[in-house]
Amino acid sequence: MSKDFILPDIGEGIVECEVVEWLVAEGDTVVEDQPVCDVMTDKALVQIPAISDGVVSKLYYQKGEIAKVHEPLFALSSASEGQQESTPVQAVTEQVLDSTPETSEPVAVEVSSNAGVEDFLLPDIGEGIVECELVEWLVEEGDEVKEDQPICDVMTDKALVQIPAKSDGVVEKLYYAKGEIAIVHKPLFAIAVKGAATQAPVASIASKPAATVQAETVASSSATNTQSKGKRKAVASPAVRRLAREMNIDICDVNGSGTKGRVYKEDLHAHKQGGQQPTQAVTANAPVEAASATTRVEPIKGVKAAMAKAMQESVSTIPHFTYSDEIDLTALVALRKKLKPEYEKQGIKLTMMPFFMKAMSMAIKQFPIMNSQPNAECTELTYFDDHNIGMAVDSKVGLLVPNIKSCQTKSIKQIAQDVMEMTDKAREGRLSPDQLKGGTISISNIGALGGTTATPIINKPEVAIVALGKMQTLPRFDAEGNVEARQIMNVSWSGDHRIIDGGTIARFNSLWTKYLEDPTSMIMDMV
């Protein structure tokens, strides 16, 4: 049976692409991750690999034609298809039928109870994501589940994702253990669909039990031999697989040094140089005294790895400059204290963040460059109508920056609801990819952890970020020269000096500060 390969998402907002070159022809045998074709989007040339071993049975597009995302690109059939006529199983079956006397009583043979069992294939869970870590099973084998009931939590390099059941049924098998790497488009679990037939009669076949056992034995043996001849599945990230293809290395031949045989870039280089693996933190033959009891080495993965990569790229490609100021929040603190009980009656936790976001959105209307993003070459600048303001959250899976969409159209109450929801989801690591992408400017609240000043790193490709310091009660002079206690907060800006300068960010901050220090002016401008 052939199976269509559905063209996945190959870039944000991309719905079609041009087939530049087919790297295989119909009838060719391919292996997993082998490049099948090159397609051109409006941004880049992308190479599409095979998701499994098999034979290319059909190419749905000609060279130069436009292929649609989420539509079939090519069809792939099993390598063993077409050879069924000569299989040992069929030969034994024919022998059994031929040896059956015509006068024998018909016998109803039951097939496996798995006739009503369906494999749930792990779907696409993010752009460019081909694997994820199984964090937690929320059910066990034998449990009855309902449609949309959460089955497990998986961790990508961006977020924690919850996988639901697609129908009512009983969980028959869990294909991965906790901590293992699950592959996209591969079976994640098996479910016996409620209401599906669990056994099927076979047409009147009179057979001896011994012959039946023989046929089952041959079938099992054949399946075992077929499986043993296949290569093991390599565990590796998309970047590592891409590097392996560039180095012309079959990644299945590389012994990974990571957990569960995970292949890293160092493993590829070592394999290329002669098959030696990278030096481990502590070798098996090393003296006991060489290993310290307090020393351990663990890989940087998941959200932390993604953050590390993003921050390094931001610092290395964006010329940062900083600007600091202090804001007197005495009046705003009093307003929040007055409004907080009313919001609590509605189940809304009112923090200072909604005020900061709304004031920033209002200031952006006069300084739209603060809500812009340059292209990779910094030759074009895109201005966004929506003010999608991000907020850094220290979650259990690492630093996450969800954003509140369209702050320019929302009230402080609506923003407060969104902030509360996003914060709860972020701390549990259950943000969706849409909630993490699309930000236009960011706020980092280091004051929640006790800091006063910082040098925040820009969330590329944004052009600015501000860090909020801890609010402090400090003495200040009033207009008559009298000393009084005021609620003071330090704010620290980082800007992309290719796009904005010190004067721009100083004027923008002054307007933002005006709204925060005098909430009535913000309310007047909102009308």
Catalytic residue numbers?
A: 497, 501
Question: Does a cis peptide bond (omega within 30 degrees of 0) precede residue 88?
Answer: no
Q: Rounded to whole angstroms, what are the CA distances from 467 to 29, 245, 264, 426?
A: 55, 42, 35, 19
List, in order, residues 6 or more apart from 124 with CB less than 8 Å away: 8, 9, 184, 185
The continuous run of DSSP H or E covering 488 comes out as strand 483-496
Half-sphere exposure for 24 (CA within 13 Å, toward CB): 26
User: How far is Cα 392 from Cα 445, in angstroms, rounded to an integer?
Assistant: 7
Two tokens at 278?
A: 């990278």
H-only helix segments in 27-161? 88-98
| CA atoms 497, 500, 506, 509: torsion sign | negative
At CA 435, angle to CA 431 and CA 436, rounded to 5? 85
Residue 188, SS3 per DSSP: strand
Q: Rounded to whole angstroms, what are the CA distances from 164 to 149, 302, 303, 423?
A: 5, 21, 22, 22
Say if CB 443 and CB 392 are below 8 A apart.
yes
Say if CB 158 and CB 130 are below 8 A apart.
no
| CA atoms 245, 246, 250, 254: torsion sign | negative
User: How far is Cα 302 from Cα 429, in angstroms, rounded to an integer?
Assistant: 11
Strand partners, 121: 187
User: How far is Cα 338 from Cα 344, in angstroms, rounded to an integer?
Assistant: 11
Two tokens at 68?
A: 């649609």
Two tokens at 82?
A: 């077409």
Number of residues that make up the chain: 527
Two tokens at 440?
A: 């236009």
H-only helix segments in 318-432? 330-345, 353-364, 412-428
Exposed / middle / buried, residue 445 (Cβ in 10 Å: 0-12, 13-18, 19+): buried
Strand partners, 493: 323, 466
Q: What are phi and psi of 460, to 5 degrees?
A: -55, 140
Q: Where are the beta strands (DSSP E) in 11-53?
A: 16-22, 29-30, 35-40, 45-49
Q: What are phi and psi of 257, to 5 degrees?
A: -95, -5
